[in-house]
Amino acid sequence: MADTLIRPPADAPPPVEERRRPPRVRKTPVTYLLRFIVTAYLFFLVAWPVSLVVTHTFDNGWESIRSLLEDPDMVVALQLSAYVAVWSVLINTVFGVGMSLLLVRYEFPGKRLLNSLLDLPLSVSPIVVGLALVLVYGGRNGWFGPTLAGWGFDVIFSTPGIIMATTFVALPLMIRELVPVLEEIGIEQEQAAQSLGASGFQRFVRITLPSIKWGITYGVVLTLARSLGEFGAVKVVSGNVLGQTRTATLAVEEKYLNFDQQGAYATAFLLAMVSVACIVVVGIIRPKNNH
Amino acid sequence: MIWFSALVLIPLAAVVVTAIDGGWDVFWTTITNGQTAAAIKLTVFTAAGVTAVNVVMGPLIAWVLVRDRFWGKSVLEVLIDIPFALPTIVAGLVLLSLYGTDSPIGIDIANQRPAVFLAFLFVTLPFVVRMVQPVLEELELDVEEAAASLGASRFTTFRRIILPSLTPAITAGAALSFARGVSEYGSLVLLSGNLPFKTEVTSVRILSSIENDNVAGAAAVATVLLAISLAVIVVLDLIQRRVAARG
């Protein structure tokens, strides 16, 4: 599903196939009708609402953003969001590469099952994710929670829990990016390297890693966008303690419910900026890989 | 493997086990409880309705993006991805600013059923479009022209040539958007008001059970959602295998 973000660049030269075949689309009234319907639909569903948030944020100029950044609790929330996102990206990158290699290079029983189950985090409700983590790692009566708490390690209602929830929901993005790339590059080069006496580690660092470099980059960007924006799962596991376990997304809800619309819109604006930036970055760097 | 189990499989298994622990009676009374049943019904029906809209609009949008050329098309491309990348809570706020109480166009559907529909529509927008788009790009214009030269009308060409090749992609996108709709939570918090029997969806119901310390009840409802997610994944897998088999 991560490849839902694949799209041809806006201003890149047309792909070879299209040059061979000049556009010969007939313009009929239907063409214009369809064009109009689609544009209107997207305008009312996405463009207008999003632009309203921007205008609401700047109702008083930069004032609302400045006051947001001066609020110590808000700064902590933003820092926490960033911290959690970075950890989630790190964990998903390391294990994502491992899992992808496992899925592409090795045959083992249950591989198809594992492959299907990997999509689960994308289709399961974030609330269910949160509930599941509480049931297993909850401090009072989870399966492993009391043991871990005995070692002085609280998961739920503290930062590790938030990181786990975020990692969970963003898990498939990296793997779905890497598996097609790994399948395409094959193993001939590595076999050649092996025959020349390269060790496993050398082969990975010198051959595999450079060829999946771009795949990893998209994976990181997508994971980052998803991690910063996670709300439902974090809400269940974090406990939402002001200044401690409240992330930026939780702060948006809190502010809106407390009639601090300016603050809510400003926070939403910051988060939206990051996600739009991520989309644009993916759009810009992806085509380079194809040429 | 161990990492995946610890993070994903064991927690999800715990949900099912907790639900079963309560026994079949508890499970059944929980999900047939008036409020919960209403929530599940609302969620499933709305998700199905939204999926139906997406099945029509998705290919239409993909068609325009692939076959048409006009100024500003790249902006539309970015717009499609916004619902996917936008934090869900922000999505709720975004929709509220246009369709909420101080709406500039006078449409106020906050705290009403259409709000749920609208939120689902927003978050599931990219799925069908992005599944259909690559398939449509691969499709050879020559085949259509051949059909046309043999006297097929545009409608016949569409129905006999284009639609059959898009069907797997549309179905896969529909399955994903249905799953996403059923499990949606973040965008509804602010928009729908979560009124019991009226705009309360399943995810919200689970959360309120958790907050009332009714873990068994929460797990029972969560199991229903899990079953739906699993069903969707099985459908996706079957589609993939069919496409692969066809070559």
Contact of A229 with chain B, judged by CB distance below 8 Å, is answered with yes
* Shortest alpha-carbon distance between residue A37 and chain B (Å): 9
> Under an 8 A CB cutoff, do A232 and B225 touch?
no
Among A20, A36, A46, which would you mutate to test the B interface (most chain B Cβ atoms within 10 Å of its Cβ)?
A46
Instruction: Please say whether the beta carbons of B93 and A256 come within 8 A.
Output: yes
Distance CA A84, CA A78 (A): 10
The pLDDT of residue A259 is above 70: yes
Q: State what percent of residues in chain B have pLDDT above 70.
A: 87
Buried b (16+ CB within 10 A) or exposed e, A28-45: eeebeebbeebbebbeeb
Which residues touch A237 (CB under 8 Å, ≥6 apart)?
A130, A133, A134, A156, A157, A161, A162, A164, A165
**Residue A170, Cβ density class (10 Å: 0-12 exposed, 13-18 middle, ≥19 buried):** buried
Chain B CB contacts of A249 under 8 Å are 87, 89-90, 186
Lowest mean pLDDT across A132-141, A204-213, A214-223 = A132-141
Distance CA A220, CA A177 (A): 10
The pLDDT of residue A5 is above 60: no
In A154-193, the residues whose Cβ lies within 8 Å of chain B are 164, 167-168, 171
In this predicted structure, what is the pLDDT of residue A16? Answer: 43
Contact of A236 with chain B, judged by CB distance below 8 Å, is answered with yes
DSSP category for residue B152: -
A7 pLDDT tier (thresholds 50, 70, 90): very low
Chain B CB contacts of A250 under 8 Å are 89
**Residue A149, Cβ density class (10 Å: 0-12 exposed, 13-18 middle, ≥19 buried):** middle
Chain B CB contacts of A129 under 8 Å are 11
In this predicted structure, what is the pLDDT of residue A1? Answer: 41
Average pLDDT, chain B: 78
Question: Considering only the top CATH level, what class is B43-195?
Answer: mainly alpha
The pLDDT of residue A60 is above 80: no
> Under an 8 A CB cutoff, do B219 and A135 touch?
yes
DSSP category for residue A152: T
**Residue A150, Cβ density class (10 Å: 0-12 exposed, 13-18 middle, ≥19 buried):** exposed
Distance CA A219, CA A225 (A): 10
Q: What is the pLDDT of residues B58-102, one digit of tens each?
A: 888 888 888 777 777 777 877 888 887 788 888 888 888 777 766
> Under an 8 A CB cutoff, do B78 and A167 touch?
no
Chain A CB contacts of B76 under 8 Å are 38-39, 42
The pLDDT of residue A17 is above 60: no
Strand runs labelled E in B67-226: none
In this predicted structure, what is the pLDDT of residue B2? Answer: 66
> Under an 8 A CB cutoff, do B90 and A268 touch?
yes
Stretch B3-23: mean pLDDT, rounded? 72
ipTM: 0.77
pTM: 0.77
> Under an 8 A CB cutoff, do B229 and A34 touch?
no
In this predicted structure, what is the pLDDT of residue A208? Answer: 80
To which residue do tokens 């898990």 refer? A171
In terms of CA atoms, which chain A residue is nearest residue B122? A45
Question: Considering only the top CATH level, what class is A2-290?
Answer: mainly alpha
DSSP category for residue A4: G
> Under an 8 A CB cutoff, do A38 and B76 touch?
yes
User: Highest mean pLDDT: which of A152-166, A174-188, B4-18?
Assistant: A174-188
